[in-house]
Amino acid sequence: MPASVLLIEDEALIRMMLVEMIEEAGHSVVAEAGDLKKGTALATHADFDLAILDINLGGDTIEPIASTIAGRGKPFFFVSGYGSSGVPNAFAGTPVVRKPCLVAELETAISAALSRPTTGC
């Protein structure tokens, strides 16, 4: 089932590649941001099924955005060039897809995130 995705990634070229991969996997990116301010606004107000979040946004931590999304009861996972190092302590155990990734890896992570039960804070 196609999902609407919120994508937060600070590197423009990587963000564009991820958008292509998400669409190739059959989903659509309905909102995207490359910084903490815009990402926080979208996490609060955008209508989406799933969020894909870079861990480090130009030196800022993704934690406030992840907290907002978790509070809304929306599923999400992280993407990072550093693997799981840097995952905020509050979200230890949240899945991380290592960049660069293949479409199949992203597709698997999206399916897994959508099938996990979520709870709002």
Residue spans of the domains in the chain: they are 4-101
4-101 CATH: 3.40.50.2300
What percentage of the chain exceeds 90 in pLDDT?
87
Q: Where are the beta strands (DSSP E) in the chain?
A: 4-8, 28-33, 50-54, 56-57, 60-61, 76-80, 96-98
Question: What is the H or E stretch that residue 101 is in?
Answer: none
Structure tokens at 50: 């799933």
Instruction: Name the pTM for this structure.
Output: 0.94
Q: Is the pLDDT of residue 39 over 70?
A: yes
Q: What is the pLDDT of residue 82?
A: 85
Mean pLDDT of 54-70: 94
Asked if 34 and 15 count as a contact pair (C-beta separation under 8 A), the reply is: yes
Nearest to 95 by CA among 111, 76, 82: 76
